[in-house]
Amino acid sequence: MTLRGLITDWGGVLTTPLHDAIEAWIQADDIDVDDYKVVMREWFLNAYAGEGAVSPVHGLEDGTMPAAEFERRLAERLRTRGGAAVTAEGLLTRMFAAFEPVEPMYDLLRKARAAGIRTCLLSNSWGNSYPREQFAELFDGVVISGEVGLRKPDPEIFQHALELLDLPPQECAFIDDIEHNTVAAERLGIVGVHHVDAPTTVTRLEQLFGVSLG
């Protein structure tokens, strides 16, 4: 079946890798990396553990937990390498301050739309500041988790994106840097593309859509 729709994640796909941003924040705020790894391993395992699991990540991403409350809870679990407390206010902003746009991926979206491919942003928000001034140029639809009360990998949020594109799942591809999310999309019949870097993703999408996107 011919693919006509492209759904993409934001952080780690249209931006520099999440790992790089976190490393920059850890250095800038002098965070004890072992403390950070312990809490994130716990919270993320629960965030993707399936029905019944509870994690602050759920609440942050689906909008039921205010960003300030998430920051407070995370700061309580962290210390600097010298053992000092970590400032909660503005913690999420500092965590993602090193995010930079990946221009080849933005070019891909522009070329996709020029080729008649419908595009949609599908992002699990962590209180991020998005480049909304570019959305009209890049996307036919925008789904941000905290604004719709849903989060990836829940099937309902993928269905919402498909409704905005007015396309069936079999006619869409979905890009995400978290493989758990691409697998969830594939269960619905969407073609999953696990993003590792821009050149690999561009090549894969060119193969799928049969158009030049690089």
My answer on whether 40 and 135 are in the same domain is no
Model confidence over 99-120: pLDDT tens digits? Answer: 999 999 999 999 999 999 999 9
Phi, psi of 164 (to 5 degrees): -65, -35
pLDDT-wise least confident of 6-10, 22-26, 51-55, 148-152: 51-55
> Number of structural domains, the chain?
2
Single residue among 95, 121, 145 that ends a domain in this structure: 95
CATH label of the domain that carries residue 108 = 3.40.50.1000
- Give the contacts of 162 (CB within 8 A, at least 6 positions apart): 5, 7, 168, 169, 172, 190
- Residue 214: inside a domain: no
My answer on whether 149 and 184 are in the same domain is yes
- Residue 48: per-residue pLDDT: 74
- Residue 52: per-residue pLDDT: 59
Q: Is pLDDT of 208 > 80? A: yes
Q: Is pLDDT of 53 > 70? A: no
- Residue 51: inside a domain: yes
Single residue among 76, 95, 114 that ends a domain in this structure: 95
Single residue among 95, 125, 146 that ends a domain in this structure: 95
Q: Is pLDDT of 47 > 70? A: no
My answer on whether 42 and 54 are in the same domain is yes
- Residue 44: per-residue pLDDT: 78
Tell me the C-alpha distance between 21 and 110, whole Å.
Answer: 25
Q: Is pLDDT of 55 > 70? A: yes
Residue 127 or residue 81, greater confidence: 81
Strand runs labelled E in the chain: 5-8, 118-123, 141-144, 172-176, 191-194
Domain that holds residue 56: 18-95
Model confidence over 87-100: pLDDT tens digits? Answer: 999 999 999 999 99
- Residue 169: inside a domain: yes
My answer on whether 86 and 109 are in the same domain is no
My answer on whether 109 and 50 are in the same domain is no
My answer on whether 118 and 153 are in the same domain is yes
Model confidence over 140-172: pLDDT tens digits? Answer: 999 999 999 999 999 999 999 999 999 999 999
Helix/strand/coil for 24: helix
